[in-house]
């Protein structure tokens, strides 16, 4: 896998001035939040989600009258057993997705380039960060995902084979649209000395549109519950992962 050339360039991107970062501690662990998008920019990204070409949207499941889920872009976690299909989708979809969501991708990349003082690049064979789109047909509380640890860098054959050269990870989520009762992410610290992940101090980080939540380690976590007071709610988030490899952050999903 070549990470020499980014999908798009240059790596010096426009963006807002230095952004305040808030730290949320849970046990010995930390998550961070940074407001990256204005309300007008949030609306612009939501409009882009509404108008994304159908070929870039992948339906995952639907419970008629209850809820449904789709992704924009094809994520690795849904394609661990068919990596060739994943890389084929990445090669076909990365450039049109980047162009369609240029504002979102360049704002996120600019933030991390400034935070770490290193370039953000994309690989042809890995999907660029993409979107979850949850739709809720009625009011109620809708459970999130299962508890897990991402560690996606270990699931990419290239990074798994060059693990000694992976010097850092970052995981991020940017909510753009939320149901009227809110949603967020649940995280747990590890118990010191335990071989099992999680089980320590827990925290639920509520999402705010345009405010990115990120971690600089892999933690036990899950998608938080979505609360809908009225029918027709949606939960739209951009998320991705970064691997620090040979002085560059390779972003993918």
- Strands, E assignment, 157-229: 166-177, 184-190, 199-206, 211-215, 220-223, 226-228
Residues 6+ apart with CB under 8 A from 209: 37, 39, 42, 175, 176, 177, 178
Q: Is the peptide bond before 144 cis (omega within 30 degrees of 0)?
A: no
Q: Give the SS3 label for residue 152.
A: helix
CA distance 75 to 111: 22
Residue-wise pLDDT tens digits, 75-108:
999 998 999 999 999 999 999 999 999 999 999 9
Domain boundaries, the chain: 27-252
* pLDDT bucket at 175, cuts 50 / 70 / 90: very high
> Which strands sit side by side in the sheet containing 220-223, from one edge to the other?
199-206, 184-190, 220-223
How many C-beta neighbours within 10 Å does residue 243 have? 24
Q: How far apart are CA 231 and CA 189, in angstroms?
A: 35
The model's pLDDT over 32-67, given as tens digits with 9 standing for 90+, comes to: 999 999 999 999 999 999 999 999 999 998 888 889
Specify the CATH number of the domain 27-252. Answer: 2.60.120
């Amino acid at each position: 896998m070549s990470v020499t050339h980014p999908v798009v360039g240059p790596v010096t991107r426009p963006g807002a001035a230095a952004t305040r970062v808030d730290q949320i501690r849970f046990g010995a662990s930390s998550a961070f939040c940074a407001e990256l998008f204005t309300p007008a920019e949030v609306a612009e990204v939501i409009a882009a989600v509404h108008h994304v070409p159908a070929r870039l949207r992948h339906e995952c499941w639907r419970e008629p009258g209850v809820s449904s889920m789709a992704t924009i872009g094809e994520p690795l976690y849904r394609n661990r057993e068919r990596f060739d299909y994943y890389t084929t989708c990445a090669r076909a979809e990365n450039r049109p997705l980047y162009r369609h969501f240029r504002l979102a991708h360049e704002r996120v990349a600019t933030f991390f380039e400034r935070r770490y003082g290193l370039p953000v690049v994309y690989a042809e064979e890995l999907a660029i960060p993409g979107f979850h789109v949850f739709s809720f047909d009625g009011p109620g509380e809708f459970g999130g995902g299962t508890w897990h640890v991402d560690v996606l860098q270990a699931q990419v054959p290239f990074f798994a084979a060059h693990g000694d050269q992976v010097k850092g990870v970052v995981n991020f989520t940017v909510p753009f649209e939320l149901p009227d009762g809110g949603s967020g992410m649940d995280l747990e610290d590890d118990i010191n000395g335990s071989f099992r992940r999680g089980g320590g101090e827990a925290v639920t980080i509520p999402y705010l549109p345009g405010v990115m939540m990120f971690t600089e380690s892999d933690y036990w976590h899950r998608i938080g519950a979505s609360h809908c007071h009225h029918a027709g709610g949606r939960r739209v988030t951009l998320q991705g992962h970064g691997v620090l490899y040979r002085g560059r952050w390779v972003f993918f999903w």
